[in-house]
Amino acid sequence: MTPTAVIQLYVFVLAGFVGFLVITRVPPLLHTPLMSATNAISAISLVGSLVVAGADRGTASTVLGFIAVTAATINVVGGFLITDRMLKMFRRHELPPGEKK
């Protein structure tokens, strides 16, 4: 294994661990927004798609890159918007006037 691969593995395992710890504490109330949020975040694969679409490695590569950019952008735009729309709906009982949140 190359040193880079080892570091990548470290990053993967530690990030997965952080994810596990954080997400364990997300209440079931927000499980659907959690799914759409993680989905939007993992659309970061757009970053890889951009390189493929813009590196000018031949027509086939560019077209594949274009498809990937489109698919990932759908998830970035749609994913963050729908998560926000859902989270906006979750509200508490109205507080009596004068009381602060």
Partner 1 sequence: MSRDLGIQGIYLASSVLFILGLRSLTRPDRARRGMQQAAVGMLLAIVGTLFQAEIVRFDWIAAGLILGTVVGYPLGMFVPMTAMPQRIAISHLFGALAATVVGIAEYWHGGHGATIAHGQMAALGFEVLFGGLTVTGSFMAFGKLQEFITGTPVTYRGQNAINISLFLATFGLFAYLIFFPASTPLFYLMIALALCIGVLMVLPIGGADMPVVVSLLNSYAGLASSATGFAIGNNVLIIAGALDGASGFLLSLIMSKAMNRSFGNVLFGAFGTPQISAGKTAEGLHVQSISAEDAAMRLAYASKVIFVPGYGMAVAQAQHQVRELAELIEKKGGEVKFAIHPVAGRMPGHMNVLLAEANVPYDQLYDMDEINSAFPETDVAVVIGANDVVNPAARNDPKSPIYGMPILDVDKAKSIIVLKRSMNPGFAGIENELFYDEKTSMLFGDAKASLTKLVSEVKSL
Q: State which of positions 78-97 bind partner 1 (CB under 8 A).
A: 78-94
Q: Are 68 and 52 in contact (CB under 8 A)?
A: yes
CB of 100 to partner 1, least distance (A): 12
Residue selected from 29, 97, 98, 99 as contacting partner 1 according to rule CB under 8 A: 29
CB of 10 to partner 1, least distance (A): 10
18 phi and psi angles, rounded to 5 deg: -60, -45
Residue 44: what residue type?
I
Alpha helices, H only, 1-101: 3-24, 31-42, 46-54, 59-89
- Decide if residue 50 touches partner 1 (CB under 8 A): yes
CB of 2 to partner 1, least distance (A): 6
